[in-house]
Amino acid sequence: MNVDLRILRYDPEPAKPALAAGEPAAGAAELTGLPSTPPKPHWVTYKVEADPMDRVLDLLIKVKAEQDGSLSFRRSCGHGICGSDAMLINSRNRLACRIRVDQLGKKISVAPLPGLPVVKDLVVDMSGFFGKYRSVKPYLINDQPEPERERLQSVKDRARYDDTTKCILCAACTTACPSFWARPEYVGPAAIVQAHRFIFDSRDEGADERLEILADEDGVWRCRTIFNCVDACPRGINITKAILEVSSAIVGRRG
């Protein structure tokens, strides 16, 4: 089948125009290689021969290999594990390696994740996203002497935070969140999910530090329970429930 694959292309650093041999550089534009107006994002449609079981990632790889080698996108595992190929596909945040042509139809549009600066084409700058992730101390905090063997935990205690261990940090949730679009300083659902994973771990002793951080004006109170994050999560995590549990823990700590 033939698929129309529309891709939002954006290259903020245009290549310098080559001067013909002996041609004098007449002005500033020629000297710097910069165009007089900055480039704008623009849609490009590629006709791609596809199998219904192809994933959008397969189509992007095909376009890059056969039609335009300058197309840029991230991917690594190709199987829904690394979280690097989240993009806006037919107006929803999804992993390109998890969504198939037969689920989307013959007209497919692909754009970068909303709300993050674009580096090039479908590649966004994730440094702010990972900065927020680091801000919630996403690691085990326990100053007790190390036991001889592992730190034991009951099945019930392990189950308490099982859902939030599934996060692959793809950013689909945070960039689908209107509260994040309105206020990019909001720590966002992904960072709260990561904090939840440790706050409710019976072996961890850093819950108070994390709850203090998340009680900030750009913490959990920015959530308006819109549920976009839950719809976007490729791992099926009940993100809103996790956020509400963290909010309740903050309130319980105050009481």
Contact with ligand SF4 (CB under 6 A): which of 3, 193, 195, 220? 193
Tell which positions 132-151 bind ligand FES, by CB under 6 A.
Answer: none
Report if residue 98 touches ligand SF4, rule: CB under 6 A.
no
Cα 45 from Cα 58, distance rounded (Å): 16
Q: Alpha-carbon distance 114 to 93, whole Å?
A: 9
Residue 232 found at the interface with ligand SF4 (CB under 6 A): yes
CB of 194 to ligand FES, least distance (A): 17
190 binds ligand SF4 (CB under 6 A): yes
Closest Cα to residue 185, out of 221, 155, 158? Answer: 221
Asked if 159 touches ligand FES (CB under 6 A), the answer is: no
Q: Identify residues 87-116 at the interface with ligand FES (CB under 6 A).
A: 95, 97
Q: How far apart are CA 95 and CA 88, in angstroms?
A: 9
Instruction: Select from 175, 162, 41 the least CA-distant residue to 95.
Output: 175
Q: Kindly state whether residue 167 participates in binding ligand SF4, applying the rule CB under 6 A.
A: yes
Could you give the C-alpha distances from 211 to 89, 102, 236, 245, 250, in angstroms and in order? 34, 43, 24, 11, 6
**φ and ψ of 50, to 5 deg:** -135, 155
For residues 122 and 57, give the distance between their C-alpha atoms in angstroms, rounded to a whole number: 12
Each residue 50-89 as x (binds ligand FES by CB under 6 A) or -, in order, gives: -------------------------xxxx-xxxxxx----
Q: Which is nearer to ligand FES, 86 or 223 (CB)?
A: 86
Residues that bind ligand SF4 (CB under 6 A): 83, 167-173, 189-190, 193, 232-235, 237, 239
Residues that bind ligand FES (CB under 6 A): 75-78, 80-85, 95, 97
